[in-house]
C-alpha cells in the first residue's frame, strides 16, 4: 500500500508536535494509517535527548527525539514519517531515513552520503539534512530536516547536532541554483517508498 504523504502549511513547531504525538498514538494502536508530513516551520530551536544542559537556553524546545540542538524554519523542509517501522530494527530504520535523504539530493543531481552515526546526510562534507527520531511501540516520531534554501545563518546561534555551524549547507548552495520548496516536496514524495521497501536500503 502506498504511503500517504501530506503537505502541511507553514506551521508553529508546537502545533505540529502536538498533532504528531496524537497521530503517533493512533498509528501505534492501529486506529489510524501511517502518514508522512511535509512541513515548513516558523523559526524554532529544538533539543533532543543528547543535548547538554548548558545548551537548553530560553526559546529552545526540549523534545523526545535523539540528537542535540538543531534549527527548523523557513527554507527547510521538515519531514515527519509517522509510520510503523518496516522491521523491528532501529538501525535499519535510520538507514532508510538516510537513504531517503540521499534520494532527495539525487533528484537535483547531487551525490550525498549519510553520516557515520545516523544523524544526518552530507554533500561534499557539508550537512544539508539532520536526522532525529524517537521510536515508541515500533512507531516513529520526528524525522529529517532537509535544508532547501535557508536564508542567513540560523545555526550560528547554537552548535547544530553538536557540530560547527560552518558545516551546515542547503540544497540550493550545493546545486548552485535556487531549489524551491515545491521541488523539494516533489523529490520527497518520489523518494518516500524507501521508508517502506521490503529490502534493506543500500
In a domain, 200, yes or no: no
In a domain, 202, yes or no: no
Residues with catalytic function: 161
Rounded Cα distance, 70 and 49, in Å: 12
Rounded Cα distance, 100 and 126, in Å: 17
Return the pLDDT at 1: 67
In a domain, 144, yes or no: yes
pLDDT in tens, the chain (202 residues): 689 999 998 999 999 999 999 999 999 999 999 999 999 999 999 998 988 888 887 889 999 998 888 999 999 999 999 999 999 999 999 999 999 999 999 999 999 999 877 689 999 999 999 999 999 999 999 999 999 999 988 876 676 566 677 888 999 999 999 999 999 999 999 999 999 866 554 4
In a domain, 151, yes or no: yes
Domain count, the chain: 1
Closest CA to 81 of 139, 32, 26, 128: 139
Where in the sequence is the domain holding 31, given as residue range(s)?
4-195
In a domain, 42, yes or no: yes
In a domain, 61, yes or no: yes
In a domain, 201, yes or no: no
Rounded Cα distance, 193 and 195, in Å: 5
Residue with cell 544542559: 53
What pTM was computed for the model? 0.92
In a domain, 105, yes or no: yes
Return the pLDDT at 185: 98
The angle formed by the CA atoms of residues 29, 194 and 117, to the nearest 5 degrees, is 90
Return the pLDDT at 197: 67
Q: Residue 101 is part of a domain; what is its CATH number?
A: 3.30.930.10
Return the pLDDT at 198: 64
Amino acid at each position: 500500500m502506498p504511503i500517504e504523504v501530506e503537505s502541511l502549511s507553514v506551521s508553529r513547531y508546537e502545533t505540529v508536535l502536538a498533532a504528531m504525538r496524537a497521530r503517533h498514538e493512533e498509528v501505534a494502536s492501529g486506529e489510524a494509517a501511517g502518514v508522512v508530513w511535509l512541513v515548513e516551520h516558523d523559526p524554532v530551536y529544538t533539543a533532543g535527548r543528547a543535548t547538554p544542559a548548558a545548551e537548553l537556553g530560553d526559546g529552545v524546545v526540549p523534545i523526545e527525539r535523539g540528537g542535540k540542538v538543531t534549527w527548523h524554519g523557513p527554507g527547510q523542509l521538515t519531514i515527519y514519517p509517522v509510520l510503523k517501522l518496516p522491521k523491528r530494527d532501529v538501525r535499519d530504520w535510520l538507514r532508510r531515513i538516510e537513504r531517503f535523504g540521499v534520494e532527495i539530493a539525487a533528484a537535483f543531481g547531487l551525490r550525498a552520503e549519510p553520516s557515520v552515526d545516523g544523524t544526518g546526510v552530507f554533500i561534499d562534507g557539508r550537512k544539508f539534512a539532520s536526522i532525529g527520531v524517537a521510536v515508541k511501540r515500533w512507531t516513529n516520531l520526528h524525522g529529517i530536516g532537509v535544508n532547501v534554501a535557508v536564508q542567513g545563518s540560523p545555526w550560528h546561534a547554537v552548535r547544530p547536532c553538536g557540530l560547527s555551524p560552518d558545516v551546515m549547507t542547503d540544497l540550493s548552495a550545493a546545486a548552485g541554483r535556487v531549489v524551491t520548496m515545491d521541488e523539494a516536496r516533489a523529490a520527497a514524495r518520489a523518494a518516500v517508498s524507501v521508508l517502506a521497501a521490503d529490502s534493506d536500503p543500500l
